Structure 1
Amino acid sequence: MDAPAACIVCRNDLFDDEWDRYCCRPCQNHIDADLAALAGPPLWQDTKHGRRLVSGLFTALTGELEPGTSAGGPRVSGSKTAPIPARMEPLSQSAHGGLVNDLEEWVRDWEHRGYATSCQAVRPQYRMDQAVATLRFNLDIAVRKHEAINSFAEELTMIRGTCEALIIGAVPPRPLSAICPCGTRIKFHFDSPIRHCRGCGSDYGHHALIALAVATQAA
C-alpha cells in the first residue's frame, strides 16, 4: 500500500511506526470499542457523563419494544385492555434486515478481500455476535489493508449511535444513502466530509456524496 501521511479516520498525522496503516492506533481502539459495545449481554459502566452501556447494545434493543419505555424503565403488566403495539423502530432495527445486516455487509466485504470468514447463524442476536467477533478478530489486518476503513468506522459509529438513541427513547439521526455507479451502497451522515466506496475505491467528498444521494433518490 502507499502509506498515507495521516490517519484517514481522524486526519491526524501518523507516527513513524504507523506508516503501514490507514488509521492510527487510537482510532483502531475506538473502532474496537464500538464493535465490542454491540455484542454480548448488556453491561453498564459509570462514566463522567453518567451511566452508559459498554456492551450488549443490540440485545438491549429487544427490551425497548414497548411504547413509553427506556433503558431500565418499568413495564406495566396485567392490564385488561388490548396491548399497545410495540415500538416499531427498535423492532425494525433488531430484526433480520436491520442493523445486523449493515454489519454483515462489511464482513462480506472483508471476506472478499481475503481477511475474514463469514459465519452462518439464524437468530439476529447470534448473527450480530458472530459478525462483531469476526470484525474484531480481523481488525488489525483491516486497518493496514482496507483503504475504506474510515467509511467502516463512520458507519459503525452510526450503528452504535442508533442503538443508544433507541434505548433511551430518542430519535436516531437518519443516515443518507447513495448508490455508487459500481453498484455499491454508501451510507453517510449529512456532515460526512468524505466517504470511500468499498466496491470500486472511488472517493466522494461532501458535495459529491450529496449529489450522488440526490441522483440515487431520483433514480
Structure 2
Amino acid sequence: MSCTHDHDCEDHNCAADWSLYKHINLDQVTALNESVAGSIKSVFKAWDRRLDNSEGFLESNEGDPELLVFIPFTSDVKIKSISVVGGAEGTSPSKMRAFINRDGIDFSDAQNMQPVQEWELAENLQGILEYQTRYPRFQSVGSLTLHFPENFGANATQIYYIGLRGEATQLKRDAVTNVVYELYPNPSEHKSSDVGRFSHVE
C-alpha cells in the first residue's frame, strides 16, 4: 500500500509504517546551521502529526540555507523511504543527500563525500510525497545524516517534518558488542546448552 496520500492513511497501517521516529535517539539528534539550538528535535513526530507545527520547526540561519541533520537510532533500522515537509515561499529544501553510519560529518565533509543517495526534492507542503531509497543500501543503519545543500531561493531553509519509513531490528545499538562476543562462545565458559542458544543469532 502506498503511503503517499492522506486518504491511504486513514487506518493505522501507514502510521505504523512511518514509525521509525520511535527508534530515533532524540537526545542525540543534532543539526548544523540551525538558527534556534535544539529546534531539530521538533521535526520528528508521528506520521499523523506531520502537519502539526505547534512545537516549532527547523530553520537555517538567515542568508545561509544549508542544513546538515544527524539522526542516530536506538536500534539498527532499514529505511525504505523518506518524507520531508518544508516551508512555503521558497524555504523548502530542494535537494537532499544521505550518508549512513558516518558520525561527526561537517559541511566540508558532506560537500566532498559521495552520498549513498541523493534526491531532487519538490515542495511538499501537504506531506503527501515520499522519496524511495535504494533499499539494499539502507540496511543496518545505525545513524543517518541528511544534507540539505540548497532550497528554492529563499534566504533560509525551513523544515517542519522529517519522516522515515521502514523497519527496526530487535538489536539495540548499545547491545551490539555483547551480542557479537556471544556469537563466538568459549566452550570452557559455557555449558553446551548455552552454546546452542547463540547459534541462531543473526
TM-score by length of 1: 0.25
Bigger share in helix: 1
How high is the TM-score relative to the length of structure 2? 0.26
Higher RCO (C-alpha 8 Å, min separation 6): 2
